[in-house]
Amino acid sequence: MRKLTILLILFLFQFSAYNVFAQGTNSIILIETNLGNMKVMLYKETPKHRQNFLQLVENDHFDGTLFYRVIKGFVAQGGSQDSRNAPAGKAIGYGDANRTIQSEFNKMFFHKKGALASPRQPDKVNIFKESDVSQFYIADGRVFTNEELDAMEKEVNVPLRKRIVKRYLTPKKRQILDSLKKAQKVSEFREIAKQIKESIDFDYNASAEKLEFTPEQRKAYTTIGGVPHLDNNYTVFGEVISGLGVLDKIVKLKTDSNDRPYTDVKMKVKILKY
C-alpha cells in the first residue's frame, strides 16, 4: 500500500511538472499531406487554443480529414470531421457550433502568410468572437503596399473618430461654445474645447476598434503578405515555420463552387514537441 502511494505521488508530481513545462513553451506539430509536410509552431501565449489543438492531435481527430475550403489569396481551412471520407463534391459542414473556445487575441500575433488560426461563427450569433474547437485555417493572403495599409487604417479610423466626436460634441456643447465665441470669452471657450478634445482623444486611442498596424505587421504584410482584415477578429494561435511551399501548392488547386479542391488534400497531424 505504501509503495502504491509513493508511486501515485511520483506520478502526480511528474504529471504536474509536465504541465508546467508544457504551458511554458511553444509546441511544434507536423501536418503531413499528400502534397508535402508543414511544420507548425503553437504559441504558448494562447494556451487555451494550444491545449485544445494538442488534445485533438492526441485523439487523432485530424487524421484523414481534408483541407476542404481553399481560397487562393485568402486561406486554406481544414480539420472538420465531416470531411473524412467525404465523397467528391460533397459540401463540408462547419462543425459543432455549441462547442467553442474563448478568444485569445494577442497583438503580437496577426494574419501574416502562414498564420494558424481558428474559424468561428459570425458576429451576429457569436458576439464574443469565440473560436470553433475542431477546425483551423492557415492564412495565405497577398502582399500589400504601405499605402494600402494606410487606406485600411483610414477606412476604419475616420468613421470611428466621427462617432466619438459626435458623442462628446453634442448640440448643447456646440451651443455653449458658440455663445462663448460670440461673447469673445476666449479663456472659457478654450477650457471647454480642451476638455472635449481630451475626452475624444482618450476614447479614440483607447478604442479596441481603432486600427493601427504595428511595424511588425507592416513589415510582414508588405513582404510575405497575409490577410490583415482578419486581425483582432479571429484568434491566431500559431504559424507555419517550415513548408510554406506546401501551402502554395494547396491554394493553387482548382476548386468547386464550395471552394473544395477537386483533388483531395488529406492530412495527418502529429506532435513533435509539447
Q: Where exactly does CATH 2.40.100.10 map onto the chain?
A: 24-143+224-273
Each residue of 20-55: pLDDT tens digit?
Answer: 335 578 999 999 999 999 999 999 999 999 999 999
The per-residue pLDDT for 50 is: 97
Q: Which amino acid is at 121?
A: Q
**pTM score:** 0.85
Asked whether the predicted pLDDT for residue 11 surpasses 70, the reply is: no
Asked whether the predicted pLDDT for residue 3 surpasses 70, the reply is: no
Q: 3.40.50.720, 2.40.100.10, 3.30.1490.20, 3.40.190.10: which CATH number matches 24-143+224-273?
A: 2.40.100.10
The per-residue pLDDT for 99 is: 81
Residues 6+ apart with CB under 8 A from 116: 40, 42, 136, 137, 138, 236, 237, 238, 239, 240
Each residue of 226-248: pLDDT tens digit?
Answer: 999 999 999 999 999 999 999 99
Asked whether the predicted pLDDT for residue 17 surpasses 50, the reply is: no
Each residue of 204-234: pLDDT tens digit?
Answer: 999 989 999 999 999 999 999 999 999 999 9
Residues 6+ apart with CB under 8 A from 112: 139, 141, 217, 220, 221, 224, 225, 226, 239
Rounded CA-CA distance 176/182 in Å is: 10
How big is the CA angle at 25 (ends 102 and 41), to the nearest 5 degrees?
75
Rounded CA-CA distance 45/136 in Å is: 17
The per-residue pLDDT for 97 is: 60
